Structure 1
Amino acid sequence: MNLSWKRYLLWFAQEHVDFRFAEITSIIQLLNIPIKWVEEPTPEDPYWIVQLPSEEAAHLIASRSVSLRCCLELWGRAKDIPTLHESLKKYPFDEMSKYFQSDISFKIHVETFCKHFTQKEKVQKIETFSYLPLKGTVQLIDPDVCLHYIEYYGLNPNDIPEKPLDVFFGRWICDSARYLISKISLKTRKFIGNTSMDAQLSLIMANQACCKPGDICLDPFVGSGSLLVAAAQFGAYVIGTDIDYMMLHARTRPSRITQKKREINEGILLNMKQYHLEHLYLDVLVADFSLPLWRSEFQIDSIITDPPYGIRESTEKIGIEKDNYELTEEHLQNHVPSKVDYGLSQIYHDLLSFSAEHLKLNGRLVCWFPVYRDDYSPEILPENSCLQLIANSEQILNKYTSRRLLTYEKVKEFDKNHLDVMKEIPDFRQKYFAHGDETRKERKAKRAELREIGRLESLKRSNNQSDNR
């Protein structure tokens, strides 16, 4: 091992677990950071042990990630507490001593995973590290050096072992960018809609799209612009389109119960101004994604989007079901185009075809894809010969449905003479409502059955009382 490389502990937040690997590997690729795995990362455990070439590399990863909580320079790791103390006593003193000077304040932070300790128990654990040659003063708030001791008790809160499964000790390097989650939270955002994307998921999407300063990022189903906010947060110029004129102009009914009507200046631009990102806002356009809008030479760095599934937002495109329909000149000026259904198969075929044509080489498309969990298999995912699927993470919505965050990378240039065949995708909307109707009927039948049982029991008790009299 190169002596300049050190071991680091990446400690994660225990939410959106399936998205960790895709986000971190995207950040590593974006920032061109070499990394070595000390252990193969497992999907469930809240930590990874890695080797990095420098402390700066750890800072760079943490500065982008919202799945990560913090990063430690790992001084000791063991499967039991006595072994951890033995390994710490053998850790090179020269590496420790520069942080243990008399003019350097410190504190030791105790953390447990899946088990609660009282403050008294935490202090007792801190005292077991009395052999460390600490010379400075203890400072609980904003010390010069923060040492972390972590005990990991597994993932099952209903079966907590008596002793920890893993113990760690190291020097705190930095916290992650999770502060951005509260900064752009929907709770305090000026303009939101019924389908506004959660702040953390928006930031994860922007990371997986490798958004960076100077990029141009497009959301073709922009809605209330949550994904534009996340992409701009990482420095990208943002632009969006949507067929819903009322949403883009903030004419829809407010989504907040306490809000009776939209403010005069509500809209996506107001959100960008709220976060001081208006200098990265290009524009949003009312447009039908199924119709050509951009010149063929128009190139963008990334596309992040959440296409409509037909559940909370309708899947529509401009069209008419009448044959040989003609619009007269007198009606043209005030004409509002009618709309027809825009099926999921066509939406995703158009989205991948558009990405193949307009993404720069190695540019990324990051989009959500709805699935019925029992029917899911990788074979149903949309495909395009110019795009390679590099990440596929699941967010479970309920017992029956989920949505998958798909990340595609453009691996070859678009050939306008070659058109990919549209792939038929299962009709998520039809099955969603069919199953919903079925379960409602079942629940109604069960309630009726319980009422009938209750009625018969009551009648039986009444008859028994009559017989006793």
Structure 2
Amino acid sequence: MWHRYLMWFAHEHVDFRYAEIQSILSLFDMPIKYIEKPCQSKPYWVVELPSEECVKKIASRSVLIKNCIELWATAKTEARLHENLKSSINNVSGNWIGADKSDNSDSHICPRELLEACSDSGKSFKIEVETFCKHFTMKEKVDKIEKFSYLPLKGPVKLNNPDVMLSYVEFYGVDPNNVPEHPHNLFFGRWVADGQRDLIQVHSLKKRQFIGNTSMDAQLSILMANQAQVAQGHAILDPFVGSGSLLVAAAHFGGFVWGSDIDYLMLHSRSRPTRVGQKVRTKDESIRGNMDQYGTKSRYLDVIVSDFSLPMWRSDLKFDAIITDPPYGVREPIERIGIERENYTLSDAHLPNHVPAKVEYGLPHIYSDLLDFAARHLEMGRRIVCWYPLVREEYNEEHLPFHPCLRLVSNSEQVLSKLTARRLLTYEKISDDVPEMPVDPHAVEHNFREKYFTVGETTRRERKERRAKELIANSYWIEQSKCKNT
């Protein structure tokens, strides 16, 4: 029999929830039933899953889930919640049943066997009270806990590491400036598992040995690894590796990681340090050092200085996932090896010490090359996950990068500013018949760098003019006040 669970999420990166959970479900080949359609206005989902083991597997990967609770009762009001919980004690049907909907309450009653499994006299327990968007004092929380005294729990109360932890949750909406007097929804049940939120601190860039000015933060790196469905033994590539943040996340889930980048100084840890007050990089700063820091050096294959527009990989080499954040031309240049002079030749005498010149590697060409590379070098059914920058008002899903051998399976937005954003695109390989693809005609028009700085200059100028006007107005009123006082 399937059981009902409450998945409680951190209220951030809301647009990424569905993509992450669906990727994890697909990775473990698990079915799910949505009792309530997932929506961004609520930090929780009510779902049914075949077993508790499924819940624990999802929680073992998700960085957006805070915790998962086996639901015993739900209701719109506190009184109805206690009524439903008492009805659950008498529910011998072995199935979930719906409560009376005469009061328009979305309430449910669970089988009695779930409660009886926790009522053994040898099992210690405790009840925790959680509220979303409203604060209660400890005394108020204790008063709420004491109202559950009718539960058939025979074991002792134990506040630290109890055998059974019960959760009572009140949801007051998501607007902290308009908190209602009474909660919108109430939930009660048994805690099953916590998500992987602790990894955000464990992998924090503040603690990391080697970082750059474009290092991906820990939470987004883990999200990308989940959407790429990285698993034990997979071969992972980041062709724009930078300081290797995405390799750290992929290695955490068991992937063997490769990286490449055109930036020789970054890969050899000779670039300018980005930490405040640091003038030179230490000897131990490197991508390999990061892997050693997290105990995953055995999964580090190597990083290579190379131009992605001139791939050096064997044609028969296959990867299980490609995870990358290509340069946008804002904080890092978008370059490839080349020279604008025609009929340029290099003598044999100059060849040994020659440093190749570079030209602009436009975003349309980067993404065309990236998707074509994925179509040729991904295993069938495997994924490429990459960021795509854009101006928000120009967004059109039909103009996203396209390749006939890849299917877009998720598309989530991270807002960067009022005017700009980037989208996390996840493609899955669906065909091995790779045609010769020209540069996407829609992508040719996409020059994010030019638009970013053009929009930025306008915005900064407007802000500067507005501040100047405010200073003039403030000075005027200060002078008027002085004259009035005189």
Give TM class, smaller chain: over 0.9
Offset at 1:460? 8.3
- Pairing 1:212-251 to 2, within 5 Å after superposition: 212-251=231-270
CA distance in 2: counterparts of 1:137 and 1:381, whole angstroms = 58
Preserved CA contact (<8 Å) 1:369 1:403:
yes
Aligned-residue Cα RMSD (Å) equals 1.9
What is the aligned-residue identity percentage?
56
Question: Is residue 44 of structure 1 aligned with residue 63 of structure 2?
Answer: no
1:151 to 151, 156, 170: 170
Corresponding residue of 1:312: 331
- Pairing 1:33-72 to 2, within 5 Å after superposition: 33-72=30-69
CA distance in 1: counterparts of 2:476 and 2:71, whole angstroms = 68
CA distance in 2: counterparts of 1:443 and 1:42, whole angstroms = 35
Offset at 1:133? 1.2
Offset at 1:97? 1.9
CA distance in 2: counterparts of 1:452 and 1:160, whole angstroms = 39
Question: Is residue 444 of structure 1 aligned with residue 473 of structure 2?
Answer: no
The C-alpha deviation readout for 1:222-244, integer Å capped at 9, x for no partner, is: 00000000001000110000000
Corresponding residue of 2:99: none
Secondary structure at the residue paired with 2:134?
Answer: coil
Question: Which 10-residue stretch deviates more, 220-229 or 373-382?
Answer: 373-382
Preserved CA contact (<8 Å) 1:221 1:241:
yes
CA distance in 2: counterparts of 1:447 and 1:152, whole angstroms = 40
CA distance in 2: counterparts of 1:8 and 1:204, whole angstroms = 22
Q: Show structure 2 runs of 5+ residues with no match.
A: 89-110
Offset at 1:459? 8.6
CA distance in 2: counterparts of 1:318 and 1:41, whole angstroms = 47
2:360 to 323, 341, 349: 341
Secondary structure at the residue paired with 2:83?
Answer: helix
Corresponding residue of 1:142: 161
Question: Is residue 410 of structure 1 aligned with residue 429 of structure 2?
Answer: yes
Question: Is residue 31 of structure 1 aligned with residue 28 of structure 2?
Answer: yes
CA distance in 2: counterparts of 1:60 and 1:137, whole angstroms = 30
CA distance in 1: counterparts of 2:421 and 2:43, whole angstroms = 23
Corresponding residue of 1:97: 116
Corresponding residue of 1:429: 449
Corresponding residue of 1:303: 322
Secondary structure at the residue paired with 1:90?
Answer: helix
2:277 to 258, 267, 277: 258
Question: Is residue 391 of structure 1 aligned with residue 410 of structure 2?
Answer: yes
CA distance in 2: counterparts of 1:125 and 1:419, whole angstroms = 64
CA distance in 2: counterparts of 1:180 and 1:150, whole angstroms = 24
Q: What's the TM-score once normalised by structure 2's chain length?
A: 0.92
Offset at 1:458? 8.2
Offset at 1:454? 6.5
CA distance in 2: counterparts of 1:457 and 1:42, whole angstroms = 49
In structure 2, give the amino acid aligned to 1:276: G
Preserved CA contact (<8 Å) 1:64 1:207:
yes
CA distance in 2: counterparts of 1:62 and 1:457, whole angstroms = 58
CA distance in 1: counterparts of 2:63 and 2:469, whole angstroms = 49
Secondary structure at the residue paired with 2:119?
Answer: coil
Corresponding residue of 1:112: 131
In structure 1, give the amino acid aligned to 2:15: D
Secondary structure at the residue paired with 1:42?
Answer: coil
Question: Is residue 275 of structure 1 aligned with residue 289 of structure 2?
Answer: no
CA distance in 1: counterparts of 2:467 and 2:299, whole angstroms = 55
CA distance in 1: counterparts of 2:189 and 2:342, whole angstroms = 72
Q: How many residue pairs get matched?
A: 462
In structure 2, give the amino acid aligned to 1:373: R
The C-alpha deviation readout for 1:150-181, integer Å capped at 9, x for no partner, is: 00001111111111100000000111122221
Q: What's the TM-score once normalised by structure 1's chain length?
A: 0.95
Preserved CA contact (<8 Å) 2:230 2:253:
yes
Offset at 1:423? 3.2
Task: Decide whether aligned partners of structure 1 residues 448 and 53 sit closer, same or farther in structure 2, where only a CA change above 3 A counts.
Answer: closer
Question: Which 10-residue stretch deviates more, 451-460 or 45-54?
Answer: 451-460
Preserved CA contact (<8 Å) 1:243 1:317:
yes
The C-alpha deviation readout for 1:197-251, integer Å capped at 9, x for no partner, is: 0000000000000000111110000000000000010001100000000000000
Runs of 4+ in 1 over 4 A off after TM superposition: 447-462
Offset at 1:15? 1.0
The C-alpha deviation readout for 1:23-54, integer Å capped at 9, x for no partner, is: 00000000111111111111231111111111
Preserved CA contact (<8 Å) 1:382 1:423:
no
CA distance in 1: counterparts of 2:376 and 2:287, whole angstroms = 27
2:78 to 78, 81, 85: 81
Secondary structure at the residue paired with 1:352?
Answer: helix
CA distance in 2: counterparts of 1:454 and 1:338, whole angstroms = 53
Corresponding residue of 1:11: 8
In structure 1, give the amino acid aligned to 2:321: S
Offset at 1:452? 5.5
Offset at 1:112? 0.3
Offset at 1:420? 4.6
